Copies of this chain bind each other. A is one copy, B any other.
Amino acid sequence: MARRMIRVEDRRTRLSPEARRAQLIDLGTEMLATRTIDEVSVEEIAEQAGVSRGLIFHYFGSKHGFLMAVVEYQSDRLIEATEPDPTLEPLAQLAQSLSSYLDYVTDNRDGFVSLLRGTASADVQMRELFERTRTALTDRVLERIPLIGIPVTPRVQLAVRGWIAFVEETVITWLSEPEPPLSRDELLGMLNWALPALAMTPEDSALVAGLLQGATVDG
């Protein structure tokens, strides 16, 4: 919000390099919300910012450098937006974090889908960035897993990594359907259950199911 206001006021005015960089990344982020990464146009960004294409290349080196900066910024926003609230009990933290995740990717739908499914997924630097993001999300989950009574074993570490892929796949499929057969709450309910379900063993399942009965996991 603050970022947007700076942008509007200072459009076509002199900005500090930091503010200009932030303005350009913000414009790229807005564009990526409703376009695929291949459709992001440096020319349009320059025009909207009232600067030359050359200035964008000056700040970011290349179009690829600019797109990397935009996606890196989005990745940071995603991680911030999904930061769990430590005052909630563990499964409520999960529900609230997943709800924020779903809001975030819904608001940035086209860019999100194109990044994970499009040509960007073949870009080595982009893939490294996605991996860093997934690792950050995975580590955050692994810190909290013991709180629901499941010890962090190599099996659980692998399961949580797979859970991130499960969430991405189901959310992208859900977002891609013109009329999703599942409501947002039904999807959240499934995603919430999926983490303890994957992390636990058959032996734990009754225990975790009991935990979940009590918890609000429907978003």
Contacts and interface: CB of A to CB of B under 8 A. Distances in A.
A107 interface: no
A163 B162 CA distance: 9
A208 B202 CA distance: 8
> How many subunits of this chain does the assembly comprise?
2
Interface of A: 117-123, 127, 154-155, 157-159, 161-170, 173-174, 181-182, 186-187, 189-190, 193-194, 197-198, 200-203, 205-206, 208-209, 212-213, 217
A106 to B, nearest CB: 16
A193 B186 CA distance: 22
A181 to B, nearest CB: 4
A193 B182 contact: no
A159 B202 contact: no
Given A154-B181, A162-B170, A197-B197, 14 more contacts: A119-B122, A122-B122, A122-B123, A155-B190, A158-B173, A159-B194, A162-B165, A162-B167, A162-B169, A165-B170, A193-B201, A194-B198, A203-B209, A205-B208
Given A117-B127, A200-B197, A182 B161 contact: no
A7 to B, nearest CB: 32
A170 B186 contact: no
A30 to B, nearest CB: 25
Contacts of A168: 165
A169 B161 contact: yes
